[in-house]
């Protein structure tokens, strides 16, 4: 409660916020209390691990992975129908957890393609040895590590002058290349049909949507969007969330982390 209320003072309560947890902890009620507008999702990797531990059934694990990651609701329903036939007990477990809690297609809020709490896991393993230190040394160790990371990342982000961050720039290029294999036809002033033969999706730039839903959920162009943007002469960068830009990357590491001053009596 103490930690999260300090976090709230810094970042506020917004419906753009999403908490990703492994659900083992009791943070759920505290999050709902302090951040009533935020959304809460379950790390799909932890969910998968729980399924393996409890029901160890290879075909249901395979179906779960696909169902959790699909963007399309009809695809989700089809996969879950199969899942129920494979293991009714495991289906009951997922149903009790709540489908929107772990399914990308049903989740309400923006995931930005972050489906796991890997970041927290990495921090945990980084602190594995330091945890045995006395509390003040542990805090100092965390401060020193953050100081180093912020300095290094601020330096590489500042030296970088392309619109998107390195990772997102590469992702956009790969998506664009895959999109060049598709055909695009204008349907109306706003609607564009993109795909191959009968396997097509519809892009609507006025509503900022694509029927595959990847664009709406990741706030990053999908293959259909990149192809339609080509046809309509739209800039792909304008279709990416500002959070993916190198400006935001710089901003994230913009502030220095100072050492704690000596206590004065
Ligand atoms: Zn799409």
Low-confidence ranges of the chain (pLDDT < 50): none
Task: Convert 196-208 into a string of H (helix), E (strand) and C (coil).
Answer: ECCEEEEEECCCC
Distance 111 CA to ligand 1 centre (A): 16
User: How big is the chain, counted in residues?
Assistant: 265
- Is residue 213, in this structure, part of any structural domain at all? yes
Full-model pTM = 0.84
The pLDDT of residue 25 is: 62
pLDDT of residue 120: 84
Span from the CA of 238 to the centroid of ligand 1 (angstroms): 16
Residue 256 lies in a domain: no
pLDDT of residue 26: 65
Taking the centre of ligand 1 as the mean of its atom positions, its distance from the CA of residue 227, in whole angstroms, is 10
State which residues form the domain around 150.
Answer: 121-156
Same domain flag for 147 and 189: no
Please give the tally of structural domains in the chain.
Answer: 3
pLDDT at 201: 96
**Residue 264 falls inside a structural domain:** no
pLDDT score, position 265: 65
**Does residue 141 share a domain with residue 78?**
no
Span from the CA of 184 to the centroid of ligand 1 (angstroms): 13
DSSP string over the chain: -HHHHHHHHHH---TT-EEEE-S-SSHHHHHHHH-TTSEEEE-HHHHHHHHHHHH--HHHHHHHHHHHH-S-HHHHHHHHHHHHHH-HHHHHHHHHH-HHHH-TTT--S--TT--S-HHHHHHHHHTTTGGGS-HHHHHHHHHHHHHHHHHHHHHHHHT--SSB-HHHHHHHHHHHHHHTTSEEEE-SSSEEEEEETTEEEEEETTTTEETT-HHHHHSS--HHHHHHHHHHT--SGGGS-GGGBHHHHHHHT-S--PPPPPPP-
15: CA distance to ligand 1 center in Å?
24
CA of 224 to the centre of ligand 1 (A): 5
Q: Domain for residue 126, yes or no? A: yes
Considering the domain architecture, whether residues 128 and 172 belong to the same structural domain is answered as no
Rounded CA-CA distance 47/177 in Å is 33
- Pull the structure tokens for residue 104: 């990308």
Q: Specify whether 149 is located in the same domain as 173.
A: no
Residue 117's pLDDT is what? 86
pLDDT of residue 185: 94
pLDDT per residue as tens digits for the range 242-261:
999 999 999 999 888 888 77
Clarify whether residues 67 and 145 are in a common domain. Answer: no
pLDDT in tens, 8-55: 999 999 998 998 888 766 677 888 899 999 998 889 999 999 999 999
In whole angstroms, what is the distance from residue 40 CA to residue 25 CA?
Answer: 13
**Same domain for 91 and 8?**
yes
Cβ atoms 68, 44 nearer than 8 A:
yes
Task: Tell me, yes or no, whether 115 lies in a domain.
Answer: no
Do 14 and 96 reside in the same domain of the chain? yes
Pair 94, 54 in one domain: yes
Residue 55 lies in a domain: yes
Ligand 1 geometric centre to CA of 54 (Å): 35
């Amino acid at each position: 409660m103490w930690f999260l209320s300090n976090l709230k003072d810094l970042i506020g309560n917004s419906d753009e916020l999403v908490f990703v947890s492994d659900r083992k902890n009791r943070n759920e009620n505290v999050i709902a209390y302090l951040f009533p507008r935020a959304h809460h999702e379950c790390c799909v990797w932890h969910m998968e691990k729980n399924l393996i531990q409890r029901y160890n059934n290879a075909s249901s694990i395979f179906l779960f992975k696909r169902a959790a990651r699909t963007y399309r609701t009809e695809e989700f329903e089809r996969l879950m129908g199969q899942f129920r036939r494979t293991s009714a007990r495991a289906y009951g477990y997922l149903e009790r957890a709540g489908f929107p809690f772990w399914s990308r297609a049903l989740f309400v809020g923006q995931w930005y393609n972050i489906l796991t709490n890997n970041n927290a896991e990495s921090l945990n393993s980084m602190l594995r040895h330091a945890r045995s230190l006395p509390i003040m040394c542990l805090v100092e160790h965390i401060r020193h590590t953050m100081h180093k990371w912020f300095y290094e990342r601020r330096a590489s982000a500042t030296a970088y002058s392309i619109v998107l961050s390195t990772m997102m720039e590469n992702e956009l290029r790969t998506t664009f290349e895959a999109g060049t294999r598709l055909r695009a036809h204008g349907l109306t002033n706003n609607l564009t049909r993109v795909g191959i033969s009968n396997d097509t999706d519809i892009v609507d730039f006025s509503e900022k949507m694509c029927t595959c839903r990847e664009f709406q959920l990741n706030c990053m162009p999908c293959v259909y969007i990149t192809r339609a943007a080509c046809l309509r002469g739209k800039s792909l960068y304008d279709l990416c969330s500002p959070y993916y830009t190198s400006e935001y990357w710089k901003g994230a590491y913009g502030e220095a982390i100072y050492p704690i001053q000596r206590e004065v009596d």
